[in-house]
Amino acid sequence: MQASHAHGDLTPQLIGTPIWYDQAVAAAGIPIYDVPMVSVGGGLGSFILTDVLRIQGAPASAIKVVSNSETPWQSWEYLTRVSQLPAHERIRSDAGARPDNLWGFPSYALHEAWQDKSLALVWQVLVEPVFADFFSPRAGTVFATVQKEAQRIGYWDMLASGQVRMVRRRAGGGYFTLVTPPAGTTPTKRIAIRSRYVHLAVGYPGLKFLPDLQEFRETHNDYHRVVNAYEPHEHVYEFLKSRPGAVVVRGAGIVASRVLQRLIDDRERLGLQTQIVQVFRTYIAGTHGPGVWMRRKGGDGWAYQAFTFPKSAFGGQLKAQFRAAQGDKRKELSKAVGGTTTPRLRRWQGQLQRGRQGGWYHAVQAIVEKVEPTRDGRLLSHIRSDNGQRNQIASDFVIDCTGLEADMAEHRVLADLLQNGGARRNGAGRLAVGPNFEVLGAESGDGALYASGAATGGNHFLAVDSFMGMQTAALDIAADLARRGFVRRLGPVRSTGQWVKWALGRPV
Amino acid sequence: MTPTLFGRIQTRLFTLGTIGVVLTALIVPVLPGTTGGLGATYKTAYLILLAVAVVGVGWELLYHLLMQFRWDKDWPTLFGLVTILNEGALMFLLLRAGVVPGIGGKVAVSTFVTMFVFVWMGVWLVANGPLRVPFVQWRLRGGRFL
């Protein structure tokens, strides 16, 4: 008899059942493996949680990280590299935010100072941000230190290669994580991991495109001249090296800053004639904010902020205020501190100043109504400014620097969780989670499902999508798991002992 | 650092009550300019430390107010160092004015400066790094221990 599905694959019955019985999974011929904790994602979010759990006493054999990524930094490394942040460049992150070191001591500033045998970095971190820009680590420092820590905690033993298709609640408690392992590595197409706890850290579902640019790409099938900064676009810089050209940069955040830096670095280093027009949808002319206690610096179009949120959102006053606030107050706070920002780095200020003086960098406030190809193979952006004035900008390329996809339902596992797993969206459209980052509505008997990273925005904590935010989530999840008896508490004695092991490079 | 008001106060009291107490114990025997016995010097030194803690709560209120003008609501590392000047100056004036309870005699400039700088630097160094080792959540809770 030929079944409508292969043995060891999903059945329509399983797909249509929110809560799975062991027998139903077994009857479908899907092999079941048992492990207490599964982390889905395999990026820095999974790495940081496993690091904390290992430090709090979980054996490596109790955790499986299911991922398509070979390393925890793979996806982040890709996104930073294509968005013009190669390993030697400095990221936008505080010295004390170390994914490889949950104590944040010694900071990345001291680490790099020791490596470089340079006191300049110690001086910078001492006088920041008053007499110097905030210290930020090199991207390469993060890769290298995470690699070392991964080795120390036995991360590679916990990593299981495969694509997670869905996480379903299990009758009797806990969860099934349905995995499609790489073809040919298992006898069946799918395997199921049965666990009491699941953690989701799946990152961003994809790239976000501005509607007019998406329309252009689809209408004209041109993926060459209109590019997203988070996709490979080295050809733009190569073209500009071969002949003079004009580029429109859309966006006002950190990625726009980096793309401008690359364009200007090339221009100044190689003597190019590149013309740059930056289109700001919201043009910030100066200091702004709702009151004297909340004034953010800005100017020349940009809103300036050292990190993705005011520093105290990561572990200070704003974090406490936001956590205590409810409903409208929380929304109000979120609005006041949100928005697109970039750090006010001395290097970038100098570059843009030279651009303005030399007449090769122009900033305009406008919304772009549409982009069209011209007969001579260029692009024409039709813009309208807030005062109603219409204009056109001709360019060879448009670089969209407006960001990553934030709609969680675009991610298959999260979409399934919302549809079948009991999870619900919060006011910001992300996953509603409780104070321990447990996904609300997805509880299953004595099991718990947690999430961290971008998917958990819009809850009690603003800075979820950051190294320190993921550590915060990991510590809160681990504290909850300690109450449930899965790991030990992280008191001063264990913490100090584990730090000493970290410092000596000894296994946990 | 990104302290909250309660975090500031708790951090000040905790660090002075631990690191401050230990460092005071270490520095007293070698303090210059002291008169009288070691016991009397210890008594004076710990009374000064206590006064720094008490007056410090007032300072923290002021710092917290000043911090509100900063968008990031942070307290840069450098601020924690340079506030030795205003706090040291005020404490010395209070000592000279004879309003610190329990301290009758005159405390020499050299005695005061040596102790104050030594303890301050020690507390500042520990608070800017090593304190995170035993107390992982301390920096994530705005400097609160409780």
Min CA distance, B141 vs chain A (Å)?
5
User: What are the tens digits of pLDDT across the range B57-112?
Assistant: 999 999 999 999 999 999 999 999 999 999 999 999 999 999 999 998 899 999 99
pLDDT band at residue A211 using 50, 70 and 90 as cut-offs: confident
Q: Do A128 and B74 touch (CB under 8 A)?
A: no
Q: What pLDDT sits at residue A8?
A: 93
Q: Do B139 and A296 touch (CB under 8 A)?
A: no
Which residues from chain A sit within 8 angstroms of residue B1, using beta carbons? 316
Q: What pLDDT sits at residue A2?
A: 42
Mean pLDDT across A4-33? 93
**Mutation choice for B interface testing from A52, A288, A312 by most B CBs within 10 A:** A312
**Mutation choice for A interface testing from B68, B74, B138 by most A CBs within 10 A:** B74
Sign of the dihedral defined by the CA atoms of residues A477, A482, A487, A488, in that order: positive
Q: Do B136 and A468 touch (CB under 8 A)?
A: no
Q: Do B69 and A292 touch (CB under 8 A)?
A: yes
One-character DSSP codes across A328-369: HHHHHHHHHH-S--B---HHHHHHHHHHHHHT-EEEEE-EEE
Largest CA distance in chain B: 51
Question: Does residue A206 or residue A475 have the better pLDDT?
Answer: A475
ipTM of the complex: 0.95
Of A127, A296, A492, the CB nearest to B134: A492
Of B4, B81, B129, the CB nearest to A317: B4
Q: Is A339 on the interface with B (CB under 8 A)?
A: no
Beta bridge partners, A301, equal A284
pLDDT band at residue A129 using 50, 70 and 90 as cut-offs: very high
Residue type, B86: N
Domains of chain A are 12-75+146-205+407-504 (3.50.50.60), 78-143 (no CATH), 211-284+341-400 (3.50.50.60)
Q: Do A311 and B74 touch (CB under 8 A)?
A: yes
Task: Find, in chain B, the residue whose alpha carbon is nearest to that of A307.
Answer: B72
User: What are the tens digits of pLDDT across the range B6-45?
Assistant: 999 999 999 999 999 999 999 999 999 998 899 999 999 9
Q: Do B76 and A292 touch (CB under 8 A)?
A: no
Min CA distance, A306 vs chain B (Å)?
8
Ranges A35-44, A218-227, A259-268: which has the least confidence: A218-227
Task: Find, in chain B, the residue whose alpha carbon is nearest to that of A288.
Answer: B71
User: What are the tens digits of pLDDT across the range A312-354?
Assistant: 999 999 999 999 998 899 999 999 998 899 999 999 999 999 9
Q: Do B134 and A495 touch (CB under 8 A)?
A: yes
Contact assessment for residue B129 and residue A103, using Cβ atoms and an 8 Å cutoff: no
Q: Do B133 and A289 touch (CB under 8 A)?
A: no
pLDDT at A3 > cutoff 50: no
- Exposure b/e, A467-485, CB count within 10 A at least 16 = b: bbbbbbbbbbbbbbbbeee
User: Is-cis flag, bond preceding A137, omega within 30?
Assistant: no
Q: How far is CA B98 from the centre of its chain?
A: 20
Of B71, B78, B134, the CB nearest to A297: B71
Min CA distance, B7 vs chain A (Å)?
9
Bin B60: left if φ > 0, else alpha if -120 < ψ < 50, else beta: alpha
**Domain segments of chain B as ranges:** 5-141
Of B77, B139, B143, the CB nearest to A126: B77
Q: How far is CA A287 from CA A108, A311, A345, B70, B76, in A?
A: 31, 17, 16, 12, 21
**Mutation choice for A interface testing from B4, B64, B68, B71 by most A CBs within 10 A:** B71
Q: How much of chain A, in percent, has pLDDT values that exceed 70?
A: 99
Out of A2-16, A176-190, A203-217, give the one with best mean pLDDT.
A176-190
Which residues from chain B sit within 8 angstroms of residue A287, using beta carbons? none
Q: What pLDDT sits at residue A406?
A: 64
